C-alpha cells in the first residue's frame, strides 16, 4: 500500500478523528442560525456552544469573538475594521513585521490608498524581530501594529505581549495574527494584551471555511461585509455553523494541545538532530530562536526545494518548500529573503511541520528516505556540473 505521511500541518491539518462521528450529527442541523423557528434552533445552539468553547480556550468573552470564513478574512477585518476610514489626529502609521502572511501585508498595503503609511519591522537571520527598530518607529503617529504570534514558515515566535504593552502606551491599536499558534501552543489573548487576534479553523484540525477574530470589548470595528445583522452586525452572511462547530470542538482539546506540544517538540528535535548528523551541508533556519514545537525549516545546499518536494512526494511524504498559499509560485519565499537568506539559499529550503497524527516511526522512515534522495539529487547535480564544466 502506498505510504502517505503528512508533514505539512502549517499548510492545513487533517480533520481530527473525533470530528468524524460528530459532523454527521451536526449535518442534521441544516437550518439557518438566524431563523427563529424550530429549524434555526439547532444551528444557533452549535454557534453558541462554539463561541463559548473558542472563548474559553483563548481567554476572552464569547461576545468578543466574530466568526469569519477563515484567517485571511479575519486579518482583513481587523486591519480595515479597526482603523478609521482616513487617518485621524495624525495617526497614519501602520507597523507590520517583514514576515507577515500576505493577508496582513497586502491589507496593510491597501490601507495606503486610504492615506496610511506602512513601515516594516525587519527580522534577523534567526527570524527574530528587531525590537529596537520597533521602539524607534513606534510613536504617537502609530495607528496600528500588526505582528504575528508564530511564523508559518519558520515557526518563529514573536514577543507580542511586549509589543502590545509598548503599543498601548503610545495609544496605538495592536492586532496579532495567531493563526499558526492556535492548537500548537497555549494562547491567552488577555495575557498577550492585544486588541484583536486572528484564528483559523483549518490549521487546527477543524473543517475548512471558518476563522475567528477576537476584538477586545469596547473597541469600535467597522464592518467590511455589509448585509444582514449576523455576528452582532460586525460580519454579515449566514454563518458556516458546521465548520464553526468543528472549531469549537477542537477548542475543547486544551489538554491535548499541551501534551502534543511536548511530544512534537521531542519529535522535531530528534528529526533535526538526525538530519544534521547524517546529511552534510544542512542548516536549520532560525533554529536558535524561540519556535513553535512542530516546525522545522532548513536549507539543503545544492538541492532544489521543488525537486526535493516532488521526489519526497513519490515516496508518500507531504512536505513544503514555502507557504502553501504561494505554491505554484517559483519565486523564493519572501519570509526567508526577509531573514537575509540569498535567493539561491531560499530555493533550497524545506519546511517540515509535524502534527498530532505523526509518529516516531514516520520520522525515522522520513530521514532514511530524505538521506537517500538528497544523496541522489546531489549526485545528479555533481554529474551535470562535471559534464557541462560549470
Ligand atoms: C500566519 C497565517 N495567517 C493567515 C493565514 C490565512 O488563513 P486562512 O487560510 O484561514 O485564510 C495563514 C494561512 O496559511 C497563515 O499561515
Mutate which of 97, 179, 204 for ligand 1 pocket (most atoms within 8 A of beta carbon): 179
Q: Is 179 in the pocket of ligand 1 (CB under 6 A)?
A: yes
Angle at Cα 130 formed by Cα 349 and Cα 108, nearest 5°? 80
- Which pTM does this prediction carry? 0.96
- 287 confidence band (pLDDT: 50, 70, 90): confident
- Residue 25 CA: distances (Å) to CA of 42, 46, 190: 11, 11, 34
Q: What is the mean pLDDT of the chain?
A: 95
Q: Which of 176, 210, 251, 325 is catalytic?
A: 325
- 325 confidence band (pLDDT: 50, 70, 90): very low
The pLDDT value recorded for residue 380 is: 75
Q: Is 207 in the pocket of ligand 1 (CB under 6 A)?
A: no
Q: How far is the CA of 83 from the centre of ligand 1 (A)?
A: 21
Atom of ligand 1 at shortest distance to CA of 208? Answer: 10
Beta carbons within 10 angstroms of residue 245's beta carbon: 28
Over 90: is that where the pLDDT of 319 sits? Answer: yes
d(C-alpha 318, C-alpha 352), whole Å: 9
Q: How far is the CA of 200 from the centre of ligand 1 (A)?
A: 7
Is residue 228 within 8 A of residue 244, CB to CB? The reply is no
Mutate which of 9, 71, 207 for ligand 1 pocket (most atoms within 8 A of beta carbon): 71
Is residue 333 within 8 A of residue 323, CB to CB? The reply is yes
Q: Which three cell numbers stand for residue 16?
A: 481530527
Is residue 158 within 8 A of residue 120, CB to CB? The reply is no
Q: Is 148 in the pocket of ligand 1 (CB under 6 A)?
A: yes
Mean pLDDT, residues 239-243 = 97
Q: Is 71 in the pocket of ligand 1 (CB under 6 A)?
A: yes
Q: Is 78 in the pocket of ligand 1 (CB under 6 A)?
A: no
Domains located in the chain, CATH noted: 5-13+254-388 (3.90.1150.10), 17-250 (3.40.640.10)
d(C-alpha 189, C-alpha 107), whole Å: 22
Helices (H) and strands (E) in the chain, counts: 13, 12
Q: Which of 142-146, 213-217, 318-322 has the lowest mean pLDDT?
A: 318-322
Atom of ligand 1 at shortest distance to CA of 103? Answer: 4
Mutate which of 153, 203, 208, 211 for ligand 1 pocket (most atoms within 8 A of beta carbon): 203
**What is the tens place of the pLDDT at every residue in 355-375?**
999 999 999 999 999 999 999
**Residue among 231, 232, 172, 241 nearest 210 (CA):** 241
User: Which DSSP string corresponds to 330-355?
Assistant: -SPPHHHHHTT--HHHHTTEEEEE--
Mean pLDDT, residues 56-60 = 98
- 387 confidence band (pLDDT: 50, 70, 90): low
Q: Is 76 in the pocket of ligand 1 (CB under 6 A)?
A: no
**What is the tens place of the pLDDT at every residue in 84-117?**
999 999 999 999 999 999 999 999 999 999 999 9
Over 80: is that where the pLDDT of 329 sits? Answer: no
3-state SS, 194-223, equals: CCEEEEEHHHCCCCCCCEEEEECCCCCCCC
**What is the tens place of the pLDDT at every residue in 252-274?**
999 999 999 999 999 999 999 99
Q: Which of 46-50, 228-232, 285-289 has the lowest mean pLDDT?
A: 285-289
Contact residues for 299 (Cβ-Cβ < 8 A; gap 6+): 282, 283, 285, 341, 345, 346, 348, 349, 350
Q: Is 177 in the pocket of ligand 1 (CB under 6 A)?
A: yes
Q: What percent of the chain has pLDDT over 90?
A: 93
The pLDDT value recorded for residue 330 is: 61
d(C-alpha 20, C-alpha 15), whole Å: 8
d(C-alpha 322, C-alpha 333), whole Å: 6
**Residue among 83, 91, 124, 128 nearest 107 (CA):** 83
Atom of ligand 1 at shortest distance to CA of 11? Answer: 14
Is residue 180 within 8 A of residue 155, CB to CB? The reply is yes
Q: Is 325 in the pocket of ligand 1 (CB under 6 A)?
A: yes
Is residue 94 within 8 A of residue 108, CB to CB? The reply is yes
**What is the tens place of the pLDDT at every residue in 2-31?**
899 999 999 999 999 999 999 999 999 999
Beta carbons within 10 angstroms of residue 23's beta carbon: 16
Q: How far is the CA of 292 from the centre of ligand 1 (A)?
A: 15
Q: Is 69 in the pocket of ligand 1 (CB under 6 A)?
A: no
Q: How far is the CA of 203 from the centre of ligand 1 (A)?
A: 8
The pLDDT value recorded for residue 180 is: 98
The pLDDT value recorded for residue 323 is: 42
Instruction: Give the phi and the psi of residue 142 in degrees, each rounded to 5.
Output: -75, 125
Is 325 an annotated catalytic residue? Answer: yes
Q: Is 53 in the pocket of ligand 1 (CB under 6 A)?
A: no
Mutate which of 325, 329, 353 for ligand 1 pocket (most atoms within 8 A of beta carbon): 325
Is residue 108 within 8 A of residue 93, CB to CB? The reply is no
Amino acid at each position: 500500500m502506498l505510504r502517505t505521511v503528512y508533514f505539512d500541518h502549517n499548510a492545513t491539518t487533517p480533520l481530527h478523528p473525533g470530528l468524524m462521528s460528530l459532523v454527521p450529527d451536526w449535518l442534521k442541523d441544516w437550518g439557518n442560525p438566524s431563523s427563529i423557528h424550530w429549524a434555526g434552533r439547532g444551528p444557533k445552539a452549535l454557534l453558541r456552544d462554539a463561541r463559548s468553547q473558542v472563548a474559553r480556550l483563548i481567554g476572552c468573552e464569547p461576545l468578543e469573538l466574530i466568526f469569519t470564513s477563515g484567517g485571511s478574512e479575519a486579518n482583513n477585518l481587523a486591519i480595515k475594521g479597526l482603523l478609521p476610514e482616513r487617518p485621524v489626529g495624525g495617526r497614519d502609521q501602520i507597523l507590520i513585521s517583514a514576515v507577515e502572511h500576505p493577508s496582513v501585508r497586502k491589507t496593510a498595503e491597501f490601507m495606503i490608498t486610504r492615506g496610511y503609511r506602512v513601515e516594516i519591522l525587519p527580522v534577523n537571520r534567526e527570524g527574530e524581530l528587531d525590537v529596537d527598530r520597533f521602539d524607534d518607529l513606534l510613536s504617537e503617529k502609530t495607528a496600528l501594529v500588526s505582528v504575528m504570534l508564530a511564523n508559518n514558515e519558520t515557526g518563529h515566535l514573536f514577543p507580542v505581549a511586549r509589543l502590545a504593552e509598548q503599543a498601548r502606551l503610545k495609544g496605538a491599536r495592536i492586532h496579532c495574527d495567531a493563526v499558526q499558534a492556535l492548537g500548537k501552543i497555549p494562547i491567552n489573548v488577555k495575557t498577550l494584551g492585544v486588541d484583536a487576534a486572528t484564528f483559523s479553523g483549518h490549521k487546527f484540525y477543524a473543517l475548512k471555511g471558518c476563522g475567528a477574530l477576537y476584538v477586545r470589548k469596547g473597541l469600535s470595528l467597522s464592518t467590511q461585509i455589509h448585509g444582514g445583522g449576523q455576528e452582532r452586525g460586525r460580519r454579515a452572511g449566514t454563518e458556516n455553523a458546521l465548520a464553526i462547530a468543528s472549531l469549537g470542538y477542537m477548542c475543547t482539546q486544551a489538554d491535548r494541545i499541551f501534551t502534543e506540544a511536548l511530544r512534537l517538540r521531542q519529535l522535531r528535535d530528534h528529526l533535526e538532530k538526525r538530519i544534521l548528523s547524517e546529511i552534510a551541508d544542512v542548516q536549520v533556519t532560525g533554529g536558535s530562536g524561540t519556535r513553535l514545537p512542530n516546525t522545522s525549516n532548513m536549507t539543503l545546499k545544492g538541492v532544489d526545494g521543488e525537486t526535493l518536494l516532488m521526489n519526497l512526494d513519490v515516496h508518500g511524504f507531504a512536505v513544503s518548500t514555502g507557504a502553501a498559499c504561494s505554491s505554484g509560485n517559483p519565486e523564493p519565499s519572501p519570509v526567508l529573503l526577509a531573514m537575509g537568506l540569498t535567493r539561491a539559499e531560499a530555493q533550497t529550503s524545506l519546511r517540515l511541520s509535524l502534527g498530532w497524527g505523526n509518529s516516531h516511526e514516520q520520522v525515522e522512515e522520513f530521514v532514511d528516505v530524505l538521506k537517500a534522495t538528497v544523496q541522489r539529487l546531489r549526485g545528479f547535480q555533481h554529474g551535470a556540473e562535471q559534464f557541462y564544466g560549470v
